[in-house]
Amino acid sequence: MKLLQLIALVPVLLLPAGAFASSEAAWKEFDKTIQRSCLAKSDLLHKKVTGQRIDFSDDVGYSALIISGKRMDNGKSQTMKSLCLYNRQKQTASLADMP
């Protein structure tokens, strides 16, 4: 009898798990938010997002993007890349130039 009750309880326990999953539209909006934040922080000219967002685990709390663009140096235009780390909790972006 207890086995039947346990088997009947399993689907009920699994139901709420689907409610916590984010929709595809929510992920797209999140991606746009990160891109806007990182691009706004960058001082590169003709800047754009290169590649796909990388999400670190929630205990780290960051997502990463690479921004590419141009920077003037002594009258010469140089192609540059920056790594953008987006703090998901604080909703802030930090940039560092890549070598």
- Which strands make up the sheet holding 76-87, listed edge to edge? 45-55, 62-73, 76-87, 92-97
Each residue's pLDDT tens digit, 13-27: 455 555 557 899 999
* Domain boundaries of the chain, sorted by first residue: 45-99
pTM for the model: 0.75
pLDDT for residue 73: 86
Q: CA 7 to CA 36: how far, in whole Å?
A: 48
CB 11 within 8 A of CB 34: no
Q: What is the mean pLDDT of residues 57-63?
A: 97
